[in-house]
């Protein structure tokens, strides 16, 4: 076996997402068809783990020596920022079997005999890299792709879309039909095949959405959502999201009548959707989620965002709007309190779930919605909760709470020298609007106010 490792300087790659950046450099210079039958490893080097360096390594492992010579040749000519100087750029030999008790490199995929980039499971990150660098992407297994589109009981059209996706990744008709049969639990293979063929013929006659768009709509982002920083929403979609909103005037302020429900910043760059509870707890960048990670809740309550998305310089609110500061919430509260003591009640939507005439829990105390603000109880995503007689914090790792009971809104105002920020809340069992603080990594609703 022959092996060569290409070393990258993590600092030169500017830290965050350095693995993605390193692969983009590597795959931009190497061609998949030039290194067939090669296994790819990556990871921080053993020296980096020991604290003696700050290097990331992509390693190619193969029986074909000409593959090694080709990689060394093209990567020697590369001048991209992030590569180590030529004299220190390569590790040749047993790269993945380093001494000293460390074996940091792990297999992430490989190049098959046709020169396609192959991974065990479908990955958006890997596919995006291939699309950007001109490689052909071909996951080895198809169950994950199928599961994006085929919860039991889906339509023939969705089966057709899945079949088209399988074809895109190089799976033949027999494999596609067998996989569809297995997932749908349909005994007659021919029945599925006919349904797929008929639906594909129908889809080909209409202006259907691209496979990539359908994946974005149907699949939660993977655990490592950093790939999305390389993606932008099409300009026309951004413009569509900047259209006129339903609004309500209260005093001298103009508010949106619904909670924010967008997935990108003002410049079109995607905000990561993070479903994994552990990852959510540790985030220090902007992110959003649906309550219970269920898109159906987003249609009603909007999305839940952490404070880092609120505070991002790219702008979370659409053009002409902004997220209110703590002082702007105070202005709203003081204006309403001058004429009505039950400030929360006149902001909340009316009715309750028990009576079947609303979505708040019973009793939805004091709710009249006299302002038309129509606050709804979208709950929140927690980072920590109080235990032991309110004397100690414990991390709960991104759990969801209080749907139907609480309405929690961000302000842009952080507490000085703290991980907390000011928020404003409404409750099903109380007619008041009150302010408090919460950890910035929590997931809350947003109401925008006009500039």
DSSP, residue by residue, 240-253:
HHTS---EEEETTE
The SS3 call for residue 231 is coil
**DSSP notation for 340-368:** -S-TTTTTBPP--TTTTS-SSPTT-TT--
Integer CA distances (angstroms), 241 to 12, 137, 169, 230, 237, in order: 36, 32, 33, 20, 6
Mean pLDDT of the 143-168 span = 52
Looking at the structure, tell me whether residues 434 and 302 fall in a common domain. Answer: yes
pLDDT digits (tens, 9 = 90+) for 305-330: 999 999 998 899 988 899 999 999 99
Nearest-10 Cα torsion for 270, 276, 279, 280: 70
Q: Which of 186-195, 397-406, 419-428 has the highest mean pLDDT?
A: 419-428
Q: Is 237 in the same domain as 267?
A: yes
Domain, as residue range, for 191: 143-213
* Minimum mean pLDDT range among 265-269, 370-374, 439-443: 265-269
* pLDDT classification of 375: cutoffs 50, 70, 90: very high
Question: Where is average pLDDT lowest: 68-82, 195-209, 255-269, 423-437?
Answer: 195-209
The DSSP code for 228 is G
Percent of the chain residues past pLDDT 90, beyond the cut: 37
> Residue 164 — very low, low, confident or very high, per pLDDT cuts 50/70/90?
low
Domain presence at residue 138: no
pLDDT of residue 46: 75
If phi over 0 gives left and psi between -120 and 50 gives alpha, with beta otherwise, what is residue 100? left
Q: What is the pLDDT of residue 255?
A: 94
Does residue 403 sit within a domain?
yes
Please indicate, yes or no, if residue 408 is contained in any of the structural domains: yes
**Is 435 a member of any domain?**
yes
Residues 241 and 381 in one domain: yes
Helix (H, G, I), strand (E, B) or coil at 309: helix
- Answer yes or no: do 167 and 233 share one domain: no
> Of 74, 107, 133, at which residue does a domain stop?
133
Highest mean pLDDT among 114-128, 233-247, 294-308: 294-308
In a domain, 219, yes or no: no
- The pLDDT tens digits for 206-215 are 334 443 443 3
**Is the model's pLDDT at 133 over the cut of 70?**
yes
- Per-residue confidence (pLDDT) for residue 422, from 0 to 100: 92
**Strand, helix or coil for residue 310:** helix
Shared-domain flag, residues 187 and 296: no
* pLDDT number for residue 228: 32
Q: Are residues 240 and 305 in the same domain?
A: yes
218 belongs to a structural domain: no
Dihedral angle sign, alpha carbons of residues 301, 322, 255, 334: positive
Checking if the pLDDT of 227 tops 50, the result is no
The pLDDT, as a whole number, for residue 417 is: 78
Name the range with the highest mean pLDDT among 82-96, 162-176, 213-227: 82-96
Phi, psi at 407, each rounded to 5°? -125, 115
- The residue out of 213, 247, 268 marking a domain boundary is 213
Residue-wise pLDDT tens digits, 10-66:
888 865 578 888 999 999 999 999 999 999 988 887 777 777 888 889 999 899 999
- Three-state SS for 33? helix
Assess whether 402 and 356 both reside in one domain.
Answer: yes
* Same-domain check for residues 269 and 209: no
User: Is the same domain home to 299 and 434?
Assistant: yes
Name the residue among 437, 434, 439, 233 with its Cα closest to residue 332: 434
**pLDDT of 207:** 36
Are 425 and 392 contained in the same domain? Answer: yes
The total domain count for the chain is: 3
H/E element holding 417?
A: none
In a domain, 222, yes or no: no
Distance CA 67, CA 74 (A): 11
Domain identity same for 53 and 112: yes
Q: Which of 133, 160, 186 is the last residue of a domain?
A: 133
Residue 178: per-residue pLDDT: 58
3-state secondary structure of 208: coil
User: What is the average pLDDT across 180-186?
Assistant: 49
Residue 404 lies in a domain: yes
The full length of the chain comes to: 451
Predicted local distance difference test score (pLDDT) of residue 141:
63
Residues 6 or more apart in contact with residue 167 via CB below 8 angstroms = 173, 176
Closest CA relative to residue 287, chosen from 259, 301, 269: 269
Among 108, 98, 107, 82, which Cα is nearest to 50's?
98
Given pLDDT bands bounded at 50, 70 and 90, which one contains residue 245? confident
If you ran DSSP here, which 8-state letter would residue 135 be given?
A: P
User: For the ranges 37-51, 81-95, 367-381, which has the lowest average pLDDT?
Assistant: 37-51
Indicate the Cα dihedral angle 29, 33, 34, 37, nearest 10°: 120
Bigger pLDDT: 213 vs 380: 380
One domain for residues 251 and 375: yes
């Amino acid at each position: 076996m022959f092996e060569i490792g290409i070393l990258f300087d993590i600092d030169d790659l500017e830290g965050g997402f350095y693995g993605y950046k390193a692969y983009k450099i590597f795959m931009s210079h190497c061609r998949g068809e030039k290194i067939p039958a090669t296994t790819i490893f990556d990871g921080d080097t053993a020296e980096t783990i020991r604290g003696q360096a700050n290097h990331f390594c992509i390693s190619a492992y193969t029986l074909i020596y000409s593959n090694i010579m080709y990689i060394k040749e093209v990567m020697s000519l590369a001048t991209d920022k992030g590569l180590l100087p030529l004299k220190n750029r390569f590790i040749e030999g047993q790269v993945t079997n380093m001494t000293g008790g460390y074996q940091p490199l792990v297999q992430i995929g490989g190049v098959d005999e046709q020169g396609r980039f192959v991974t065990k499971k479908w990955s958006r990150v890997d596919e995006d890299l291939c699309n950007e660098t001109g490689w052909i992407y071909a996951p080895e297994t198809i169950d994950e792709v199928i599961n994006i589109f085929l919860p039991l009981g889906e339509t023939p059209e969705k089966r057709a879309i899945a079949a088209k996706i399988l074809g895109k990744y190089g799976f033949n008709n027999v494999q596609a039909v067998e996989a569809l049969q297995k997932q749908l639990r349909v005994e007659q293979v021919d029945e599925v095949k006919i349904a797929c063929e008929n639906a594909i013929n129908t889809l080909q006659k209409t202006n259907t959405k691209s496979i990539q768009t359908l994946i974005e709509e149907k699949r939660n982002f993977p655990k490592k959502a950093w790939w999305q920083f390389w993606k932008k929403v099409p300009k026309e979609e951004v413009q569509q999201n900047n259209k006129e909103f339903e609004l309500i005037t209260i005093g001298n302020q103009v508010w949106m009548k619904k909670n924010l429900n967008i997935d990108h910043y003002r410049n079109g760059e995607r905000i990561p959707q993070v479903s994994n509870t552990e990852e959510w707890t540790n985030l220090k960048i902007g992110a959003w989620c649906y309550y219970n990670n269920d898109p159906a809740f987003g249609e009603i309550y909007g999305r839940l965002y952490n404070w880092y998305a609120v505070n991002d310089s790219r702008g979370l609110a659409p053009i002409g709007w902004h997220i209110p500061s703590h002082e702007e919430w105070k202005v709203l509260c003081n204006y309403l309190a001058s004429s009505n003591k039950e400030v929360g009640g006149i902001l909340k939507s009316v009715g309750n779930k028990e009576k079947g005439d609303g979505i708040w829990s019973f009793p939805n105390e004091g709710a009249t919605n006299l302002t038309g603000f129509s606050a709804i109880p979208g709950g929140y995503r927690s980072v920590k909760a109080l235990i032991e007689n309110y004397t100690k914090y414990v991390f709960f790792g991104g759990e969801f709470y209080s749907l139907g009971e609480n309405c929690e809104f961000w302000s842009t105002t952080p507490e000085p020298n703290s991980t907390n920020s000011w928020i404003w809340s409404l409750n099903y069992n109380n007619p008041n609007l009150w302010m408090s603080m919460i950890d910035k990594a929590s997931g809350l609703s947003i109401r925008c106010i006009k500039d």
